C-alpha cells in the first residue's frame, strides 16, 4: 500500500513542496480505510483532491472553489462558490452531514479563514480534524495580516492562538470571565510551519461548562489577586 507521500508524487500539488504530506501521514494513516466525509476548500487544478481520493479509498470527498472547473474527478464532487457563502456551505453540509476532515486551502485571507471555521466547526464530527494550510499568509497585509504586529487581532494565526487559550485557561482566575463558544469543544491544536490542525472533542480536563460565578464573587477574586 502506497504511503501518502508516494501517492503525492503522482500529483503536482504544492503539498509536496511544503512538506505537508509527511505531517498529514502521521494523522491520517489510521483513518485511510475508514468511511469518512472529507471537504477541501480550494481546488486549484484538482491534484490534492485526486490525492485524497486515492488515499482515502472508502471515503466521500468533495471540494469547494471560487472558480468554475472544467474537469471532472471520478468519485469526487466539486462545488463552485465562495467559502464565505453560508447558504452554499449549509447546502454542502446538509448533503454530507458531519465532516470528519475539513481542509482549508482556499483564499488564505484571514477573514475568510475565520468565517469558514466559525461556520463549519458545527458541521465537523466529534473527534474530527479541521486543518488550515498556508498560515504564512497571516503575516501578509493583503491577506489581512501584518509583518510588524504579530498579535494583530483579526489575523488567522492569532485566531487559532486564541483557541489554544480556550483549552488551557482557568476561568476561576479570570475576573469577569465570559465563556467563549469553543471552550471545552477542542481537544488539542497542533501547529507546524504554515499549517494548523484543530481536533474537535471534549477538552480532557474541562470542567467549567456549568459554573456560574456572580458579579460579587468575581469582584472578590479580582481584589484578592491585587491585594494578596
* Catalytic center residues: 108
> What is the phi/psi pair of residue 14, to 5°?
-70, -5
With a CB cutoff of 8 Å and minimum separation 6, the contacts of 204 are 187
With a CB cutoff of 8 Å and minimum separation 6, the contacts of 109 are 137, 143, 144
With a CB cutoff of 8 Å and minimum separation 6, the contacts of 197 are 27, 129, 130, 131, 189, 190
With a CB cutoff of 8 Å and minimum separation 6, the contacts of 44 are 13, 65, 105
Amino acid at each position: 500500500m502506497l504511503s501518502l507521500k508516494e501517492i503525492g508524487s503522482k500529483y503536482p500539488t504544492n503539498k509536496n513542496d511544503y512538506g505537508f504530506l509527511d505531517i498529514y501521514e502521521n494523522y491520517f494513516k489510521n483513518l485511510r480505510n475508514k468511511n469518512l466525509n472529507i471537504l477541501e476548500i480550494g481546488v486549484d487544478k484538482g491534484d490534492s483532491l485526486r490525492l485524497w481520493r486515492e488515499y482515502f479509498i472508502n471515503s466521500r470527498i468533495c471540494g469547494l472553489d471560487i472558480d468554475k472547473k472544467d474537469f471532472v474527478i471520478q468519485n469526487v464532487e466539486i462545488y463552485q462558490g465562495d467559502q464565505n457563502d453560508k447558504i452554499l456551505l449549509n447546502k454542502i453540509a446538509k448533503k454530507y452531514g458531519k465532516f470528519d476532515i475539513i481542509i482549508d486551502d482556499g483564499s488564505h485571507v484571514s477573514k475568510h479563514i475565520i468565517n469558514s471555521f466559525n461556520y463549519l466547526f458545527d458541521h465537523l464530527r466529534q473527534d474530527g480534524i479541521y486543518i488550515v494550510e498556508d498560515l504564512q499568509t497571516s503575516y501578509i497585509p493583503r491577506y489581512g495580516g501584518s509583518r510588524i504586529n504579530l498579535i494583530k487581532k483579526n489575523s488567522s494565526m492569532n485566531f487559532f492562538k486564541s483557541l489554544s487559550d480556550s483549552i488551557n485557561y482557568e476561568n476561576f482566575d479570570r475576573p469577569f470571565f465570559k465563556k467563549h463558544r469553543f471552550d471545552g469543544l477542542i481537544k488539542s491544536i497542533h501547529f507546524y510551519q504554515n499549517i494548523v490542525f484543530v481536533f474537535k472533542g471534549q477538552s480532557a480536563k474541562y470542567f467549567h461548562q456549568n459554573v456560574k460565578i456572580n458579579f460579587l464573587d468575581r469582584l472578590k477574586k479580582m481584589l484578592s489577586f491585587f491585594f494578596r
